[in-house]
A and B are shown apart, each in its own frame.
Chain A
Amino acid sequence: MIAYAARRLLSAVPLLFFLSLFVFLLFELMPADAAVISAGENATPEQIEQVRENLGLNEPLWSRYFDWAGGLLHGDLGTSLFSSQSVTSTILERLPVTASLALVSMVLVVLIGLPLGVMAARHPNSWLDRGLSSFASLCMSVPPFVLGLLLAVAFGILLPWFPPTGYTSVADGGISGWLSSLVLPAIAVAAVPIAELARQTRGSFLDVLGADHVRATRAKGMPEGSVVLKHGAKNAAVPIVTVLGLQVNRILGGSVTVEFVFALPGFGALAVRSVVQQDLPMVLGIVAVSAVIVVVVNILTDLSYGLLNPRMRR
């Protein structure tokens, strides 16, 4: 297992290196010029030239890349073009909000998606199964921010049960204030992942519960509950974990629009603001951080395969 983990971790190194190169070059190819943006609208050509020199943009491409990538390794992503604040600290300030949103959504996804999927698999083609499948299709057709708008109107404005905008940290409003500011956005972000997880769970359990070894446990008189949980769950887990891992990607993407709708000061809202301002170092940092998050989650997913299924450790 340790060898497997080490191999998996090492294989991420070239990917991360290539990702950093790709992202850097992508931004290099863009028509936006950091010096022009930073100097402001009424800058003279001399001023722009001065800013360019100050930002180090006259250095050759490769030396700028190594500067940036070297900083990345130290956790230094450069400085915002507008606030002269460090990109790293701005992102770190915002991450707890998004992490809270992701946490609450993930809890909803697992608590709702898994049981729904198992229930559908226990009674395939029943009205429950068909109803759940239609419900899942419907959930997947509403983009997160649209669902967010609907929820904000329904449960924030028409029925004022939850605050329609704003974020309350645990320090300010305690656990209940924190949670109530996150309920609506978390449902908006979680709806599609719930549907997807339920579908995947149903499929995996259907496969496993039809297998011979499960029939054998039933035949020897094992109670249905332990058949499903002990023999079903373990074998159905790998594809379910795969889909769960993919949802982190989805939640990160969904947070962009949903945080905007609910005015949550998180990572996604920062992305929108920086993109609108064309704050190049900030956008570059955001893309880099989200890439690292995704790569780390993928590694964790792969490691969990090793835990769940020893055959996969090879």
Chain B
Amino acid sequence: MWSLIDTGFGFWDVYAWIAFFLLAGGGFFYLRSQGRKDYRRGTDQDDIFYGGNPVPEDGEEITVPASSAYWGFTRALEGWYKGLTAWHSGMATEYLGYMVLVMGLLALAVVR
């Protein structure tokens, strides 16, 4: 129960990882305790810096919407995504066609 899993080429030991996280956590809290002592909660120190402008009341206006996440990634792969979204056409009969197509290809491969 407490031993490790041998995967044939390597092994997996969850307790080594937990020990690692404990050590890393200890290091983190040590470094954090070395930080500035003059920080005070609830003073001007934790005001949001919004380019010198007043921070909007509604969080909506300072959020990056989900559709803008990974903009660079989707932009770089634009051709791939254009083809892929066009492929997911929403036509029920096309979906059925792909199934029959796979069946045909598999038949060619298996029967030969």
A associates with B = no
